[in-house]
Amino acid sequence: MSITASQVKELRERSGAGMMECKKALVETGGDIEAAIEHLRKSGLAKADKKAGRVAAEGAIIEASDDAGSVLVEINCETDFVAKDDNFRAFADRVAELALAAGNDDVAALAEADFESGDTVEARRQQLVAKLGENIQIRRIQRVDADGGVIGGYIHGGRIGVLVSLEGGDEALARDIAMHVAALNPPFVDADSVPADVLEKEKEILRAQAEDSGKPPEIIEKMIVGRLNKHLAEITLVGQPFVKDSDQTVGALLKSKGAKVRNFVRLEVGEGIEKEESDFAAEVMQQARGS
């Protein structure tokens, strides 16, 4: 039968589900609005869609590895309480396994992957939203391929995850470097990996500072070079003092082990998500007055 736009609109308004899900439900129920609503409720789509706009800045970073490489996956929810829930953790672990097997970082494609028992990852996500009552989203996947090198991973408190790929060295060294990256969050591996525009901007700032000193041009140039080298040491992994032994830099540690960092990735739960600030006392007072 033909499903009209007005029927889809009515179902959307009553259920809160997406347009395509509403149309599909109406087709499957022969245009019966009440049956379609029941269908959506059973599948969890209605609740999932209603919660999709809510801020989900908590969650977990999960790591999965095999001989070909490693992945980090960020899965978000609304509260730390749900992030510790066994159902949430089991879902997150399974998603990380599937992300590893997929061999890429495509979140949309992962949503369509087979979770188990004929359900897709997206279907299980929606069911979990309905069960736990919070917006839950698979936000990011970061993959590092082995390519004959060594990969070390480190997860700190379930909230910060790092993968480090080394040429040379061993997994213990790679994990130590990953711990360093988790703690100090260097933006770049070394000076060669710093973009030219970032260097130029820093040089402009340093030049302006140096020229205010009133020193001769040749001294100013030396000042700029010295300060730039100090800045590069601060923003590069190899230039930073090693977090477990501040008497040596990460670069010196790597050199002593005959190793080199190929690349690293770092994910932190909720970074870049604007959280809603709430006044807990005011919320309690409001609820008390309402009751």
In a domain, 225, yes or no: no
pLDDT value of residue 54: 86
Q: Are 67 and 21 members of one domain?
A: no
Of 145, 179, 199, which residue constitutes the final position of a domain? 145
- Whether 25 is covered by a domain: the verdict is yes
Determine, yes or no, domain membership for 94: yes
Residue 155 has pLDDT above 70, yes or no: yes
The CATH number assigned to the domain holding 20 equals 1.10.8.10
Q: Of 119, 145, 171, which residue sits at a domain end?
A: 145
Is the distance from CB of 33 to CB of 40 less than 8 angstroms?
no
| The pLDDT of residue 137 is above 50 | yes
Q: Do residues 107 and 29 share a domain?
A: no
Mark whether 60 and 123 lie in a shared domain. yes
47: pLDDT strictly greater than 70:
no
Does residue 152 fall inside a structural domain? no
| Cα-based angle 223, 229, 235 (whole degrees, multiple of 5) | 135
Note whether 47 and 69 are same-domain residues.
no
- Same domain for 42 and 85, yes or no, is no
| Pair 239, 152: CB distance under 8 Å | no
Both 47 and 25 in a single domain?
yes
CATH number at residue 85: 3.30.479.20
Tell me, yes or no, whether 81 and 20 share the same domain.
no
Alpha carbons 151 and 34: distance in angstroms, whole number = 54
pLDDT computed for residue 289 by the predictor: 61
On the question of pLDDT at 200 being above 80, the answer is yes
Choosing from 145, 176, 205, the residue where a domain stops is: 145
Note the pLDDT of residue 291.
45
The tokens describing 115, both together, are 């979770």
For residue 88, the enclosing domain spans: 52-145
Q: How many domains does the chain have?
A: 2
Clarify whether residues 74 and 125 are in a common domain.
yes
pLDDT reading at 140 higher than 60: yes
Residue 85 lies in a domain: yes
Q: How far apart are CA 37 and CA 11, in angstroms?
A: 7
Q: Average pLDDT, stretch 102-126?
A: 92
* The model's pTM: 0.76
Indicate if 136 and 118 belong to the same structural domain: yes
- The residues that bridge with 77 in the sheet, in sequence order, are 58
Residue 141 sits in the same domain as residue 64: yes
Which residue bears the tokens 């477990």?
244
- The packing angle between helices 5-15 and 19-28, to 10°, is 110
pLDDT digits (tens, 9 = 90+) for 11-38: 877 765 667 778 888 998 988 888 888 7
**Which residue, among 142, 151, 152, has the nearest Cα to 179 in the 3D structure?**
152
CA-based angle 256:162:92, to the nearest 5?
150
Q: Do 77 and 137 belong to one domain? A: yes
Q: Quick one: 29 and 91 in the same domain? A: no
> Helix (H) and strand (E) counts for the chain?
13, 10
Task: For residues 192-200, give the mean pLDDT.
Answer: 93
**What pLDDT score was predicted for residue 142?**
97
Percentage of residues of the chain with pLDDT beyond 90: 60
Q: How far apart are CA 52 and CA 42, in angstroms?
A: 17
